[in-house]
Amino acid sequence: MREQLHELIRILNSENDVLKIEKEIDTKVHDNIARSQRKFFIQEQIRILQDELGDEEASPELTKLRDDIRKARLSRPAEAKALEEFAKLKKTPPLSPESTVIRSYLDWMVSVPWYKRTKDNLSIGHVKKILDEDHFGLEKPKERILEHIAVLNLVAEMKGQILCFVGPPGVGKTSLAKSIARALGRKLVRISLGGVRDEAEIRGHRRTYIGSMPGKIIQSMKRAGVINPVMLLDEVDKMSMDFRGDPSSAMLEVLDPEQNVAFNDHYLDIDYDLSHVMFITTANVRYAIPLPLQDRMEIIELAGYLQHDKREIARRHIIPRQLTEHGIAEMAIGITDSAIDTIITGYTREAGVRNLEREIASVCRKVAKDIVLGKQKKGGKKNKKPPLPFTVDPQKVEHYLGVPRYRSRPRAKGHRVGSVTGLAWTSVGGELLNVDVALMSGPEKLTLTGQLGDVMKESAQAALSFLRSNAKSLGIPPTFSKGKEIHIHLPEGAIPKDGPSAGITMAMAIYSAVSGKPARSDVAMTGEITLRGDVLAIGGLNEKLIAAQRSGIGKVLIPRENEKDLTDIPAKVKEGLTLIPVSTIEEGLLHVFGPARPASGAQGRPRSRE
């Protein structure tokens, strides 16, 4: 009997605990229901009071928002859309998530500029002065900008003018866009497109997504605060594409003058006029820009700076800025032109001037250190008589920066068999390209070394095929390749080399090795060749001639098709060079191997002579 009572007590205690828990849950549920009913009751009271009053004076926030919509002077479709969303916001409970979404949307609508604009300074003299102050050289881009300003003086608006600056890093593409904005008196906004791979980065996200917001274009317009800023789209050649869409295709609507008058952002979901914006894009290489985008832009090539250009840029811009930043601008610090040339040739190898500025900054730091040490040795930091004047010459440059990292390759001395000097274009400027050829007994094959690209390998094969097919007319044994291994080597194998412009150089080097005639070392050449022996046009002629001049080359063979390009090359570059246009390989043989010219005429085709 006792055990039964104990079991009964245990069961009753368990049931009592369950009842207590149920009672607690019921209490919490009733409290939550009562709280929700109270909120709903109050919200309904507010809504009914607002309806009775007939305006939004009961809510100061809504009143301010309504006034902001009126002051924003939106376009008619945008104003209709904003008022529609505002009416929806009034009927939405303030604590509803939908209320936050609508409020954020209306805030974006009134913060994006619709009518406010800056007044342009269209004085050509003022614009030219600003551009010359900020940049040395760059004559073609400056001329194009001045033309644009001249047209703006005659017409109110000019659509379709989207400039694209293409050039190596450090040549001043971004800073040129900043100078244009400063010269015109416009605000500048910059968008970096490098690595952008989501279409929503350009067009924005739809409002149905959590955390949605407009794209970079509308965000930049909000930052600018005016409808006519200068918008710089940096690195337009580095946009990517993946499963989230193709942003380069979305950019078509932004950069197309016929479409950007009604640019539709997914978040705003209304047409926005971008036609007043001056778009400037930048890229490092032209071929990486999608062709549809190229079609909508005016490409302006910015070539690498020449040595004398870098010297002037360093003297006029870099050195004064670095002296100021290092606190030694007021002191008698002098950096000689020869010291600048030493830094340019021995410590930098680039098309722009970024590394040049870093090296000059390094020199300024070490000069500052020497000055401070001189002060302390003469009586501590309070001594105001530093060891000045202080001149930096090439010896001090080597003392400060150490052993030169780069050495210019001098031309070979004397005439050598199987070795010919060519000219190559690189991203850091022109370089001499020595081509060495050796004939050895062994299997009949062509060996290429020196880390050559596919195009250069094809040029070597074309040169060999031309010589074999025209051996008799060129005065070399027709069976020169039988039982021979022909080895073509381009020194500095650690540097990748590619391009068709070494074709004539390889043909001359093989001819020299086969005929045993030494090639002149003071003659350099460049040109693409065909199997018929024609020499075709090449690019980068300006940089290649600079390399020839720097290395003491006296005579340069260029394709006849490039003769027209010589008018655009500065006289300083052509100074001391004898430029000889050639249209065929046979024409070039006379200048490389002397007056003993072989019989002309290629096998299988009569060659016309003018």
The residues that are catalytic are 501, 544
* List of E strands, 442-498: 445-449, 484-489
Contact 322, 357 (CB under 8 A): yes
Contact 460, 506 (CB under 8 A): yes
Collapsing DSSP to helix, strand or coil, 590 comes out as helix
Q: Give 291-332 as a DSSP string.
A: HHHHHTSEEEE-PPPPHHHHHHHIIIIIHHHHHHHTT-TTS-
Question: How far is Cα of residue 218 from the mean position of the Cα atoms in its chain?
Answer: 23
Contact 129, 184 (CB under 8 A): no
In whole angstroms, what is the distance from residue 313 CA to residue 343 CA? 13
Helical residues (DSSP H) of 93-138, grouped into ranges: 97-111, 124-134
The H or E element containing residue 523 is strand 523-525
Strand partners, 284: none
Collapsing DSSP to helix, strand or coil, 119 comes out as coil
Residue 473: count of CB within 10 angstroms of its CB: 17
In whole angstroms, what is the distance from residue 2 CA to residue 8 CA? 10
Among residues 298, 264, 280, which one has the least CA distance to residue 232? 280
| DSSP conformation class of 35 | H
In whole angstroms, what is the distance from residue 253 CA to residue 244 CA? 18
| DSSP conformation class of 562 | G
Among residues 495, 501, 386, 506, which one has the least CA distance to residue 434? 506
Q: How deeply is 99 buried, as exposed, middle or buried, from its count of CB atoms within 10 A (0-12, 13-18, 19+)?
A: middle
Q: How deeply is 576 buried, as exposed, middle or buried, from its count of CB atoms within 10 A (0-12, 13-18, 19+)?
A: exposed
Rounded to the nearest 5°, which phi and psi values hold at 578?
-100, 110
Strand partners, 301: 166
Among residues 580, 605, 593, which one has the least CA distance to residue 530? 605
In whole angstroms, what is the distance from residue 215 CA to residue 200 CA? 6
> What is the strand order of the sheet 555-559 is part of?
445-449, 484-489, 429-441, 419-426, 523-525, 555-559, 578-582
Strand partners, 525: 422, 557
Tokens of 160: 């379709």
Tokens of 73: 């002077």
Q: What share of the chain is helix, strand, coil (3-state, %, to 5)?
A: 50, 15, 35
| Owner of token pair 């027709």 | 478
